[in-house]
Amino acid sequence: MLLPFVLFGALSIASAGIVADWSVINPKDFKFFPVAEMLKVLKAQKDVGQSFVIFCQFVYCHGQGYEECNKSCNAMKHAWDREDGRIAKIDRRTKPFPDIDSCRQVCAIDCGKNVCDKECASLCAHHFSFENRMQYEAEFYDMIGRLRKTIDLYRFTE
């Protein structure tokens, strides 16, 4: 099962045991999701533990520097249920959240046994404030789906 913090923080770190082929991601294929910006942030990170925060900031905060949204991401980094593996189930066919309640439910699942109601309410409200959130979310799922295929290939060839 892929772990969210490993998927984002260590995709290219061989010592993590997972390698993804980022060449399948052409930033020009993405009109709404800021792939190039996310890659810069991921490459600059020194602490793999910050991976969830980066993941959260790009999923819910759309990579923007909104203080309230970023606070919620930071507050959840220790609560994130690393055993859930929801990211491992995302592929290019995954549909955007139909409503804010489904966003909150999935966020709560990601939080696992921890209670993140306040943070999830804030994050989902922020995500739903963007007019392009459905296109943004669809492109995010497309990107994850492309990367997952390369990870699956590497797993089977090792």
Q: How far apart are CA 121 and CA 103, in angstroms?
A: 9
Type of residue found at 72: S
12 pLDDT above the threshold of 60: no
The confidence band for 14, taking pLDDT boundaries of 50, 70 and 90, is: very low
11 pLDDT above the threshold of 80: no
Total domains, the chain: 1
What pLDDT shows up at residue 152? 59
Between 28 and 21, the more confident residue is 28
pLDDT (tens digit per residue) in 23-58? 778 888 999 999 888 888 877 777 766 777 888 888
**Do 58 and 140 contact (CB within 8 A), yes or no?**
yes
What pLDDT shows up at residue 61? 92
**Do 97 and 137 contact (CB within 8 A), yes or no?**
yes
158 pLDDT above the threshold of 70: no
What pLDDT shows up at residue 100? 96
What pLDDT shows up at residue 85? 59
pLDDT (tens digit per residue) in 70-128? 899 888 877 765 544 566 677 778 899 999 999 999 888 877 777 889 999 999 999 99
Of the candidates 12, 148, 138, the residue with the CA atom closest to the CA atom of residue 88: 148
Q: How far apart are CA 23 and CA 48, in angstroms?
A: 21
What pLDDT shows up at residue 122? 94
Between 1 and 158, the more confident residue is 158
- Please count the CA atoms within 13 angstroms of the CA of 123 that sit on its side-chain side: 29
User: Which residues span the domain enclosing 57?
Assistant: 4-157
**Do 23 and 147 contact (CB within 8 A), yes or no?**
no
Q: How far apart are CA 129 and CA 30, in angstroms?
A: 20
Record the tokens describing residue 10, joined without a space: 């260590």
Type of residue found at 113: K
